[in-house]
Structure 1
Amino acid sequence: MELSPQGSLTTVSRTLQRLRHLDPASHMKLMLSYSVQIASGLQHLHSKRMLHLDLKPDNILCFVENRVKLCDFGTSKNLTRTDTVASGRCTVQYAAPEVLIEEDMECDGRVLPAPKSPNTVSVATDLYSLGSVLCELFSGKAPWGDRNHFSICAAISRGASPNILQHPWPSNCPQ
């Protein structure tokens, strides 16, 4: 693996938010470039019949000349067979519902039942995470905001989704 002197997208995002305010046009151009590169990396992975299953800003490395690459394939799975979710091996803010709701959970004194059949992961699982990453990339805020992991899981188990229109989107980004 090559050295990423700039670190992960999480580290670089602080600088990106400053750029967003100083030069909105350059910020948007860079965000679109990053988005295409991340999606292309995911498409390449899927073309090899693999799922990432933990796509998040920490797992996207930034390089010189505004290049980004996916990393940390520790939770990835091969698509050649139907696979069920591995428990507790994802980042809740970016994980698809089928990854999170896999066992009964207690919330506010009541039990939230798990699905009757095992959840299977697919390309859609990674695409959900991609959408979450892009939401944060453009708005500067994770899809579920500052909610804790249990609160996010409970909301998803009730069928809720994050209200991303409340995020601080760039003025030159149509909603």
Structure 2
Amino acid sequence: MQNTFADKTSKYAILEILGEGAFGCVHKARHRETNEYVAMKKVHMKKTREGIPTAILREAAFLTKMNKSAHQNLIKLKEIIIDSSQDDNQIVVFIFEYIEYDLDRYLKSHRPLNINIIRSLTEQLLTGVSVLHNNSIFHRDIKPQNILITSNGILKIADFGLAREYNYTKLLTSVVVTMWYRAPEVLLQASYNMAVDIWSVGCIFAEMAFGKALFPGKTEIDQLKKIICLFGLPDKSDWPDKAKITRESFTNCNKTSTTLERLIRFTDKCASDLLQSLLEFNAKNRCSAKKALQHDFFRKSDHTMCTVSFDDQSLSTAVDDIFDYKQTYLDTISPCDTNSDYEIQSVRSEFTDSFDVFHSPPMLLYDDSSPIDVFAWYCPTSP
């Protein structure tokens, strides 16, 4: 009978590292008897007087609770193995079902995505979030690396290390969520609720369509500036109550000529409307996961007309070229005014070779069908 930690873990043959971080590491492993592949998350920690840290107990409790729902869009926990035999340290091992991709890797290897794949993944992500929220759990760290995709296209939300049970009488204020997917109220250090997960879903929806993170901020303030530059400075009534950063701090943050609709051009207006509802600055106006799933974007009977603009070429490749161009450009000449047709055309003639990937229309012509907004968004007018 297997009772010891060594006995319980030895039934798995460790194959390769899938990821590692401050918590420990995740390995791909194989069950020696069944040959089933699993993901083994091993967490090392110091022993405390209270025993296993609260964060680990909380994660285990949420995973166990969600296991009972047996929902296909949530990662399945197979077992937990605990070693408390050492004097100073203890090890907790989570055994999960093994999933082939995370969304970050999936996007890099499958881009550009067509709109039907984007629709399917977004619907599955919202479904998983809805199940969590219906169980009074919000994830608080939804990002591509925590979203797994099976070989047959099933999406699963993983990593509940920052998840919390939502209490309507106690609003949370601790800083959570990887910065690029962090809602304005969290960045502003105001109280927040389940709507932070919806903002993260919106950012991921945009990233799937755009091929790059929508708000790749370098600092929290830079992250806020990027959001405000795209959407404009919100009205006072939309600014979070008791935010530690005031609205007046951003009065000089001018809205760019780029808009969300121009940056990510869906020919399907339903897609644009859904994206806007997920990315409402005011958390009170942000739609719930349940309401989002009722959106016409997921109910269309004819999907053939839904496509992202520039589907004849990889917009991701376009943005990659822009990044390469930006460095060359900033190293050679002073930045131009991206709102000036004349200056834009001058720049293009200077660096024509950088934009050979674009055939029709020309990359830097400022018109309704050219991706000038991508250039403007990633190449600000100052280095």
Task: Answer whether contact 1:135 1:164 (CA < 8 A) is retained.
Answer: no
CA distance in 1, matches of 2:97, 2:164: 23
Structure with max Cα Rg: 2
CA distance in 2, matches of 1:56, 1:125: 12
Task: Answer whether contact 1:140 1:168 (CA < 8 A) is retained.
Answer: no
Match of 1:124 among 181, 195, 211: 195
1:164 matches 2:252: no
SS in 1 for 2:212: coil
Deviation at 1:38, TM superposition (A): 0.2
Aligned residues: 148
Deviation at 1:70, TM superposition (A): 0.5
Match of 1:63 among 150, 155, 171: 150
CA distance in 2, matches of 1:72, 1:10: 14
**Structure 1 equivalent of residue 124 of structure 2:** 37
Deviation at 1:163, TM superposition (A): 4.4
Deviation at 1:149, TM superposition (A): 2.5
Q: When you count strand as a share of all residues, which structure comes out higher?
A: 2
CA distance in 1, matches of 2:128, 2:109: 23
Deviation at 1:64, TM superposition (A): 1.9
CA distance in 1, matches of 2:223, 2:118: 26
Deviation at 1:167, TM superposition (A): 3.4
Flag structure 1 segments of 5+ consecutive residues without an equivalent: 21-26, 103-118
Equivalent residue runs for 1:142-157 within 5 Å: 142-144=213-215, 146-150=216-220, 151-154=222-225
CA distance in 2, matches of 1:11, 1:44: 25
SS in 2 for 1:65: coil
Task: Answer whether contact 1:93 1:149 (CA < 8 A) is retained.
Answer: no
Q: Which moved more, 1:31-40 or 1:93-102?
A: 93-102
| Higher RCO (CA < 8 A, seq sep 6+) | 1
Q: Give the alignment's TM-score, normalised by structure 1.
A: 0.73
Task: Answer whether contact 2:206 2:264 (CA < 8 A) is retained.
Answer: no
CA distance in 1, matches of 2:201, 2:173: 18
Match of 1:17 among 92, 108, 111: 111
Q: How large is the RMSD of aligned CA atoms in angstroms?
A: 2.5
Task: Answer whether contact 2:102 2:145 (CA < 8 A) is retained.
Answer: yes
**Superimposed CA distance per residue, residues 110-139 of structure 1 (whole angstroms, 9 cap, x where no aligned partner):** xxxxxxxxx222121111111111110111
Q: When you count helix as a share of all residues, which structure comes out higher?
A: 1
Runs of 4+ in 1 over 3 A off after TM superposition: 153-157, 159-171
**Structure 2 equivalent of residue 115 of structure 1:** none
Flag structure 2 segments of 5+ consecutive residues without an equivalent: 1-95, 229-244, 268-306, 310-383
Task: Answer whether contact 1:55 1:126 (CA < 8 A) is retained.
Answer: yes
| Percentage identity across paired residues of the two chains | 23
